[in-house]
Amino acid sequence: MTEEVLAGDGIWTDESEWELTDLDGELDGEEHLVMPTLAVVGRPNVGKSTLVNRILGRREAVVEDVPGVTRDRISYEANWSGRRFLVQDTGGWEPDAKGLQQHVARQAEVAMATADAILLVVDATVGATATDEAAVRKLRRSKIPVILVANKVDDQKVEHEASSLWSLGLGEPRMVSAAHGRGTGDLLDDVLASLPETPREGTGGAGPRRVALVGKPNVGKSSLLNKLAGDERSVVHDVAGTTVDPVDSLVELGGKTWKFVDTAGLRRKVSNATGTEFYASLRTKSALEASEVAIMLIDASVPITEQDLRVISLVADSGRALVLAFNKWDLVDEDRRYMLEREIDRDLVRVPWAQRVNISAHTGRAVAKLVPQMETALESWDKRISTGRLNTWLKEVIAATPPPMRGGRQPRVMFATQAGTRPPTFVLFTTGFLEAGYRRFIERRLREEFGFDGSPVRISVRVREKKDRKK
């Protein structure tokens, strides 16, 4: 019955239905576990992301048959034989990379330096290349366990050719086919033998609040994450759409640990996207669903676009708390500020409750103000109003402004209760349907009385079922 309430409107037949169950998830009680990290590295297009998906047993990493799809280092939680560990997918590593690929290679090098064990993936159908040999020289300088993986071993002929990889000096190559699953179970047994029980470095926190950075491509999401984290967590480049996978980062801000997820920019509707963009869009939606609050970045220096409004609608539909961060404020002059205020009044009517802050991810201007805004939004998202207080207030509001007539009759609100939080969800038990305008009126008065800044508020109506009277 309660699932029906949260999904939308319904009917009620007797007062026993007024006792609704709280459907809150115990999210803030979750524990962030400290797990060792396995980094998957290698040159471009050797099948690293395919192998990561095989290790996870699900399709998480974005895969496409072109080199260079993965650019950041992305962590996923894996479980094998009862042991949990993090798998870190990386972009293709090349020793002499330039431009954007140089940033990608640097992320792979960070993964090599911070992991507890490394899988060096080589394309067995090609054999050892100069890039593979350069990677081996780099890895030998560290004291981290390295397992050589000969990928794309789909048959015995390739297996014979892969034996030449002994020449790399990393011992026996583990022959696998990530695409078909061949040899991955034995590989994971070797991984568990190489991974320590706990990470070499790093500490865990208890239940970090989860924040999704969303927005259109090239609006500055990765730059903001790097500024907040104080280091280069995400690849940043002036090429739009640099981020493909969601990038998780634990960041200390305001004395708390926050889990930020840098997502791919949503360029168009998921139904119209193709290839990498399609899967990146799905990952972005999944990251949003797994978050508690979203920071929506909007380029303040240019007019608000249809892409911005589409992402805002996605956040609003997901029911997440929301902070609107107007980025690139250092490029905004007086005329643009005036026009922006008019655009906000005209275009952002669906989320007038969202927290707002003007920032510059490039210079760091006002990024510290994001923390109190997120805290306010999350406090509203978690807020619960007692049933007695809610109904006392509601009677006064309805007495002053009754609902409009419908079909010659005026509906009465018999009772109200808060059915859940995250987001706050209220159910009104009535004798007739309430118009959308009156629901918006109730929501506006709720916000005036109880707050809810930065959080959506959902109001459902359950109309009393008419009973047939038989003589």
Ordered alpha helix ranges (H), 31-170 = 48-56, 99-114, 130-140, 156-162
- 329 annotated among ligand-binding-site residues: yes
User: Is 87 annotated among the ligand-binding residues?
Assistant: no
Q: Does 153 belong to an annotated binding site?
A: yes
Phi/psi zone of residue 130: left (φ > 0), alpha (ψ -120 to 50 degrees), beta?
alpha
3-state secondary structure of 467: coil
Q: Binding site annotation covers 431?
A: no
Q: How far apart are the C-alpha atoms of 211 and 214, rounded to whole Å?
A: 9
- The tally of CA atoms less than 13 A away on the side-chain side of residue 257 is 14
Closest CA to 165 of 122, 210, 221: 122
Q: Is the bond into 423 cis (omega within 30 degrees of 0)?
A: yes
Say whether 365 counts as a known binding-site residue.
no
Which tokens hold the place of 344? 């906000």
Binding residue per annotation — 395? no
- 53: annotated binding-site residue? no
Task: Tell me if 397 sits within 8 A of 416, measured CB to CB.
Answer: no
Question: Contact at 8 Å (CB) between 54 and 184?
Answer: yes
Q: Are 57 and 136 in contact (CB under 8 A)?
A: no
Whether 91 has a binding-site annotation, put simply, is yes
222 assigned ligand-binding residue: yes
Query: Residue for token digits 């009517």?
Result: 349
Residues 6+ apart with CB under 8 A from 69: 49, 62, 63, 244, 276
151 marked as binding residue? yes
Determine whether the annotation assigns residue 238 to a binding site: no
Q: Is 275 annotated as a binding residue?
A: no
43 is in an annotated binding site: yes
Annotation-wise, does 36 bind a ligand?
A: no
Confirm or deny that 126 is annotated as ligand binding.
no
Closest CA to 224 of 319, 301, 353, 329: 329
**Is residue 89 part of an annotated ligand binding site?**
yes
| 264 annotated as ligand-binding | yes
* Max Cα–Cα distance, the chain, nearest Å: 95
Q: Name residue 222's amino acid.
A: S
Is 45 a known ligand-binding residue? yes
Residue 236 CA to residue 373 CA, distance in Å, equals 25
Closest by CA position to 208, among listed 44, 30, 373: 30
Contact in structure between 42 and 93 (CB atoms under 8 Å): yes
E strand segments, 286-382 = 293-299, 321-327, 355-358
Residue found by looking up tokens 């026009």 in the block: 339
Q: Known binder of ligand: residue 29? A: no
Annotated binding site for GTP: 42-49, 89-93, 151-154, 215-222, 262-266, 327-330
Annotated binding site: 42-49, 89-93, 151-154, 215-222, 262-266, 327-330
